[in-house]
A and B are shown apart, each in its own frame.
Chain A
Amino acid sequence: QVQLQQWGAGLLKPLETLSLTCGVYGGLFSDYYWTWIRQSPEKGLEWIGDITHGGSTSYNPSLRSRLMISVHTSRTQFSLRLSAMTAADTAVYYCARATGGVVLPASFGPWGQGTLVTVSS
């Protein structure tokens, strides 16, 4: 049974960079791709982007200029970096496994436990 566990700083000042990592335990890493999603009361659930085990990425166009997702295959981990954070980026950030079918989009599951990220001066 695959489990995802995520970690990273939860309190940032404006313009700082968010850095989160997600570890994948108990499952095949290379057979799937891996995604980040965030949830806030204002915007609801928002897809951030995803990455294959080989490092190919797909980003939400609205975040692309500030976003980097990377993969560490040997450690079965993947990471998120989102720069120039503002209060509008305050949300619970989740990592999840993405399973693609014949038709887009991939479905997401299981999910990590979530990290509350607050941006405040």
Chain B
Amino acid sequence: QSVLAQPPSMSGAPGQRVTISCTGSSSNIGSGYDVHWYQQLPGTAPKLLIYGNVNRPSGVPDRFAGSKSGTSASLAITGLQADDEADYYCQSYDNSLRGSVFGGGTKLTVL
């Protein structure tokens, strides 16, 4: 059971928009800690996709957008493409566990 809850799977057709949620609590996201998002393509290491809740590293298309409110965060992907098919993970800090924590991951399927 991950500290940050994500839907195990989501799907969408090419061109559609999907939003992946990351639900935490008052000891992590709700305490104002940043949320980061990672994309993991099959057989590869995770790659930083969004940092500091809303910021995209150089090279990440603006089809990916992060947001945060209260004890939750979201990753929106617009204009879905076939190569967006991957696992997506959120990360934050938990002051009870005293360290970084991750969501359980969401497997995104492009139909």
Asked if B97 contacts A105 (CB within 8 A), the reply is no
B24 at the interface (CB under 8 A from A): no
Question: Which of B's residues lie within 8 Å of A, judged by CB?
Answer: 2, 32-34, 36, 38, 45-48, 51-52, 57, 89, 91-93, 97-105
Number of A interface residues at 8 Å Cβ cutoff, please give it. Answer: 22
Number of A-B contacts (CB under 8 A): 67
CB distance from B68 to the nearest CB of A (A): 11
**B102 partner residues in chain A, CB cutoff 8 A:** 44-47
Q: Mark A104-115, 1 if CB is under 8 A from B, else 0.
A: 111111111110
A-B contact pairs, 5 of them (CB 8 A): A44-B102, A45-B46, A105-B93, A111-B46, A111-B47
A106 CA to B93 CA in the complex, in Å? 9
Instruction: From the candidates A60, A107, A113, name the one contacting B36 in the complex (CB within 8 A).
Output: A107
**A46 partner residues in chain B, CB cutoff 8 A:** 102
Asked if B47 contacts A107 (CB within 8 A), the reply is no
A61 at the interface (CB under 8 A from B): yes
A60 CA to B57 CA in the complex, in Å? 26
Q: Return the chain B residue nearest A58 by Cβ.
A: B99
A26 at the interface (CB under 8 A from B): no
CB distance from A10 to the nearest CB of B (A): 16
